[in-house]
A = this chain, B = another copy of it.
Amino acid sequence: MNLSKRILVGGPVAAALALGAAAPAFAQVSGETAFVFNTLSFLMCGFLVMFMAAGFAMLESGMVRSKNVATICVKNISLYSIAGIMYYLIGYDLMYGIDAGGYIGSFSLFWSPDDTAALADAFPTEDAPGYAATSDWFFQMVFVATAASIVSGTVAERVKLWPFLIFVVFLTAVIYPIQGSWEWGAGWLDAEFGFSDFAGSTLVHSTGGWAALMGAIIIGARRGKYGADGRVNPMPGSSMPLATLGTFILWLGWFGFNGGSQLALGSAADAVAIADIFANTNAAAAGGVIAAMLASQVVFKKVDLTMALNGAIGGLVSITAEPLAPTLGGSILIGGVGGVLVVLAVPLLDKLKIDDVVGAIPAHLVCGIWGTLVVPVSNSDASFGGQIVGIIAIGLFVSIASAIVWFALKATIGVRADEEDEDMGLDRAELGMEAYPEFGAGSQRI
């Protein structure tokens, strides 16, 4: 069986107990100590993933034009907030309150933790989970937010604020949790197809990518992006250092994203696994950067900073489906292919007139598929057939569900800013402010 996103109840504790019988007592991680370690891992890795929200905010702030920067900031902080609230209201139970092999979880409201067993000092029993309930909730919550963050970058500079946030409500409350339940909730994909997605190349990154792709298609490209003659007009981002900072923050957060997905730190085996995951995650990102730089030198005859940055993200997404099994060298290669895919996919999207402001679809969707497909090469528990079923099932579900929500918003309150507002910039149109009132466009009005 492949790795599931949940610690089986009593799993690591029972394991520690079993080991306990065969070795001197002082050599063992005790039940309560393992409980603390596991909880600490969720919290530490969780705050790293939480900080990825800042990474997306900076990456997107740097990649949009200055007239839309304040709006992308408000979208990023509010989408993170909505994700946390919706996952509490309904999402977590929908994702994890599912029968093994099932298709949908329970529609309960207001999740609340139950740590009775642990607080009664009942660690060694089979019924006690090996971590604080809320630490798991927190860790899973920041993953939902990540999926939503991916969308905001793609549809930036033309989507209206409130309709976008309503989309985020549906994505984080319903769409993400349902597809997540199929695998990490131990639903049908996990049970019947042995689909394997350790930390979410498909479940998080492709999910965000499909939702973004549907948005980009349904909302349409920015005005003037694609000329009638097939010309692509570059619309360079306003701040390359902020985009770079955002990428570094994402890279940092990814140690938590992949490392925490081991879901335990309460034994030497877990510690070894997380250490390997950290190094592999870093190696894939490094491979992605260098491969994207070399590829852009070859394809475009120059190195492009945004390609290097998206190469890092592409490398990180590529290793996310299986950051444990590959060697360091294998991780560099997996990430390197991701970096090349980014460089190839960016112009392809432009050819299709799909306007992805920050390059999220190449990095998160394309590399998410690649990373998921390559799992069986290093992990013999996974099969190519199972991986393809998972990619298609989740891709279809998320795409259709997202398209329905985007279309419903379009048909009712509208999703797209007026032409005039788009030209003026969403900051002045929607917020009545400017991100840089003294610089660039802003300074001309002083």
Instruction: List residues of chain B with CB within 8 A of the CB of A303.
Output: 74, 161, 430-431
Also in contact, A66 and B438, with CB within 8 A (given A32-B29, A259-B43): yes
The residues in A between 60 and 81 inclusive whose CB is less than 8 angstroms from any CB of B are 61-62, 65-66, 69-71, 73-74, 76-78, 80-81
**Interface residue? A406 (CB, 8 A):** no
A82, closest chain B residue (CB)? B290
The residues in A between 233 and 286 inclusive whose CB is less than 8 angstroms from any CB of B are 236-245, 247-249, 251-252, 255, 259, 265-272, 274-276, 278-279, 282-283, 285-286
Interface segment, one of A46-54, A100-108, A384-392, A412-420: A46-54
A331, closest chain B residue (CB)? B88
A31, closest chain B residue (CB)? B27
Q: How far is the CA of A287 from the CA of B88 in the complex (A)?
A: 12
Q: For the complex, would chain A's binding face be called helix, strand, loop or mixed by DSSP majority?
A: helix
Instruction: List residues of chain B with CB within 8 A of the CB of A239.
Output: 241, 435-436
Instruction: List residues of chain B with CB within 8 A of the CB of A191.
Output: none
Task: Looking at the assembled complex, report how far the CB atom of A244 sits from the nearest CB atom of chain B, in whole angstroms.
Answer: 4
Identical copies in the complex: 3
Q: Are B252 and A85 in contact (CB under 8 A)?
A: no
Instruction: List residues of chain B with CB within 8 A of the CB of A252.
Output: 47, 50-51, 54
17 contacts between A and B (CB under 8 A): A25-B25, A32-B267, A42-B275, A46-B278, A50-B282, A70-B240, A73-B240, A76-B244, A78-B293, A81-B286, A132-B276, A134-B278, A138-B275, A236-B434, A238-B439, A439-B439, A439-B443
